[in-house]
Amino acid sequence: MENLNEFIGNHWILVLTFAVLSSLLISQILRGGASNAISSSQATQLINQHKGRFIDVRDHSEFSQGHIAESKNIPLSELPDKIKKIRGPDKPVILVCTSGQRAQTAATQFQESGFTEVYVLKGGIQGWKIEQLPLFS
């Protein structure tokens, strides 16, 4: 125990960093983080075969610079007011943002509103671009 106290005293920044990263990881696991992330090919399959839809939660200006065809733009800041107006909580919803962070936040809101099939596009628009898939403006 004495060695542990000495280690913590000598390496407190390392211990603090470990504690912060561990708590972030645990909180991500507890709220189901990224387990609902899907690839662009899986997303396309949901759209084509199960009448899913893309909802882009980026700001209007980001959306206008390039978006996935037929995606609906509902910025994350407007989502609480508009989520109740979206029809078909049993149809797949694929949430899109720049990298996936905002979409993950939106996924929680959709799930809390009763949507049963909620997914996040892995890598967001950046991942879509890397795969050289089309964007429209």
Catalytic residue set: 97
Identify whether the C-beta of residue 88 lies closer than 8 Å to the C-beta of residue 111: no
DSSP the chain: -HHHHHHHHH-HHHHHHHHHHHHHHHHHHHTTTTTTEE-HHHHHHHHHHH--EEEE-S-HHHHHT-B-TT-EE--GGGHHHHGGG---TTS-EEEE-SSSHHHHHHHHHHHHTT-S-EEEETTHHHHHHHTT---B-
Identify whether the C-beta of residue 104 lies closer than 8 Å to the C-beta of residue 34: yes
